[in-house]
Structures are given as structure tokens and as C-alpha cells.
């Protein structure tokens, strides 16, 4: 199968559709706002410093690793890596320039698998508590790439909320201890 290029994969491409995507947000934020195209923009977490790209060290390239396929084995229909699991590609944060400029990208940041979302949150020491909700969304991939695409994050254009539920603390605990891949 050919490599998936998020900047060139049209929305009509078979990999542009996926059954569900997952993200988290506080319970006090209405998940229906994610369905409004006016709210479907993403910007980087944390500081919005401009200058040398921290993710790639200015080289313009970084290693991508798909947590979902790393844990479950290669899936050639995976919207993150197309079954490649680990590979080097253009840095998603600076788009290969080696320099960061504060920008917004079209789409909502999400993951194609709830466990992959949890792995990402654990890797980033995200603050999670009983008010954090998992939002399961259906939609299609954005034409743009998420700032953390190298960690499995995707930008999507949500069309439907499939489910809203509490964090699976048992799964989070198992993932943090390495019990579950």
C-alpha cells in the first residue's frame, strides 16, 4: 500500500473515513461545539513561542510512531501510519521548515483509538480527573496535519458525536504500568 500523505489525501480517499475518533475535554465544555465548523481549529499545546522547532531540533524531520499499530500490529488501513508503525517524515509541527510560527490548523485533534489517546495523554502527563470526558466522534480527516501527528494525533472534521463517557481509569492504569500495550 502507498504511504499516506495527510497533506495530499483527499477527503474522498478510503482512508479519509474511519469509524470513530477519540479526544478528551472537561465536562463543563459542551461537546456539541465540536460539530460547529467555526470551532474546528487546533493550535499547539503550551507555549506559542516562535523560532527553532523543538520537536525536530530545526532539522525539519522527525520520527513518527503509531501507538495503535505498535500495540496491535500493523494495520494497513490505519489512518495514522498505514501500517508503517515507525518511520521518519516531515516534522508536523514546523511542516519541515525547522522553524515554528504560531498558527491554527483546520480540524479537531483526535485519535483513532481510545487506548492511543490514553497513551498520548500519559506521555504528556496530562491533567486528568473525574470531570474529564472522552468524546467519541465520527467524521472525516482534515486536509491539514495535527501538530502531534508524529505521536498518532489526527485532525478531523467531526460530523457526529457517537458517545460521551468518563475516562476508563482501569485502562489508563494498565497502560501506565505497561500491562496493556
pLDDT at 48: 59
Closest CA to 24 of 126, 132, 158, 157: 132
For residue 33, pLDDT beyond 90:
yes
The fraction of the chain above a pLDDT of 90, given in percent, is 62
Q: Record the cell numbers describing residue 112, joined without a space.
A: 483513532
The fraction of the chain above a pLDDT of 70, given in percent, is 86
Q: Record the cell numbers describing residue 90, joined without a space.
A: 516531515
66 vs 162, residue with greater confidence: 162
Give the predicted TM-score (pTM) of the model: 0.81
For residue 5, pLDDT beyond 50:
no
pLDDT at 181: 56
Amino acid at each position: 500500500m502507498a504511504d499516506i500523505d495527510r497533506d495530499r489525501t483527499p477527503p474522498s480517499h478510503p482512508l479519509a473515513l474511519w469509524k470513530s475518533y477519540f479526544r478528551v475535554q472537561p465536562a463543563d465544555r459542551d461537546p456539541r461545539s465540536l460539530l460547529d465548523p467555526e470551532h474546528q481549529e487546533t493550535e499547539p499545546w503550551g507555549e506559542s513561542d516562535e523560532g527553532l522547532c523543538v520537536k525536530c531540533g530545526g532539522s525539519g524531520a522527525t520520527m513518527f510512531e503509531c501507538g495503535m499499530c505498535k500495540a496491535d500490529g500493523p494495520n494497513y488501513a490505519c489512518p495514522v501510519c498505514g501500517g508503517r508503525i515507525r518511520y521518519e517524515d516531515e516534522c508536523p509541527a514546523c511542516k519541515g521548515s525547522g522553524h515554528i510560527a504560531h498558527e491554527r490548523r483546520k480540524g479537531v485533534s483526535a485519535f483513532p483509538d481510545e487506548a492511543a489517546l490514553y497513551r498520548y495523554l500519559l506521555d504528556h502527563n496530562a491533567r486528568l480527573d473525574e470531570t474529564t470526558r472522552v468524546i467519541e466522534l465520527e467524521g472525516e480527516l482534515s486536509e491539514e496535519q495535527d501538530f502531534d501527528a508524529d505521536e498518532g494525533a489526527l485532525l478531523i472534521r467531526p460530523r457526529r458525536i457517537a458517545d460521551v463517557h468518563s475516562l476508563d481509569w482501569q485502562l489508563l492504569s494498565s497502560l501506565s504500568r505497561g500491562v496493556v500495550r
